[in-house]
Structure 1
């Protein structure tokens, strides 16, 4: 990695729409490429997709914030802030079931290194990705 300017967190503000998932994935892809962490792009983009999809389903009317930051030499953190205080729940999806797999996938890809911080006007879901 070159200088510290390459490791500044990258942030985007997005509406609560399904189209925001692609924009969030692009942010992650560009940041990780710039930081020389291309090997994390697939996992980080998938985690980002799941977190942004969950936020988009909250029904909030303002905008969500998606941030990706470098927290160690080979670890990135994706943070999604939304206006809902409803906490995500890791549900064991039934075999053959069609839903409730997103947080299970996040849990798997992060080796359980994800969580939630409740704020006065919403929450931040964070997930750490490394290899």
Structure 2
């Protein structure tokens, strides 16, 4: 379903990590197509990964945050509908990585946009615009980092404190 790796953390580099790289015990990543179905695929990946790490109790909050981060990446991070004739390596890339660290779980989503994520003004009557407010409410911390060099885009991450 995914891979065992730390490509997003490698892309960020050690000075920009939201956690100490020596505390990483497990990591799993999945590449997602720039399609709405990827939100469900990301939640399913999170469920399976957290279960394998015996972190089932974290799933509800992580699933909500994963859904919001992937939805934001789809809405604001990739161009709408890439034509089928565009080669796979040239298509926009979305990636979800879950990283288990000492007493922390990091959820990171990579997208090709260099635009900073900005929480919208909270409007209780609006149909959308509350995603980053939910991320802030359900995670213990969140942030973003631009990618540099050949790696274009950004990574938006959220941290959850764990008992392990």
Same fold (TM over 0.5): yes
Count of residues paired in the alignment: 123
Aligned residue number for residue 154 of structure 2: 123
**Which runs of structure 1 show a deviation greater than 2 angstroms over 4 or more consecutive aligned residues?**
58-61
Greater fraction of residues in strand:
1
Q: How does 1:103-122 map to 2 (within 5 A)?
A: 103-111=132-140, 113-120=141-148, 121-122=152-153
Q: TM-score, normalised by structure 1?
A: 0.87
Q: Which runs of 5+ in 2 are unaligned?
A: 1-24, 80-90
Q: Which runs of 5+ in 1 are unaligned?
A: 1-6
Whether contact under 8 Å (1:68, 1:77) holds in the other structure is yes
- 1:15 paired with 2:33, answer yes
Q: Which has the larger radius of gyration?
A: 2
CA RMSD of aligned residues (A): 1.4
DSSP 3-state at the match of 1:9 = strand
Is 1:59 the counterpart of 2:87? The answer is no
1:87-108: CA deviations, max 9, x gaps? 1101231122221110000000
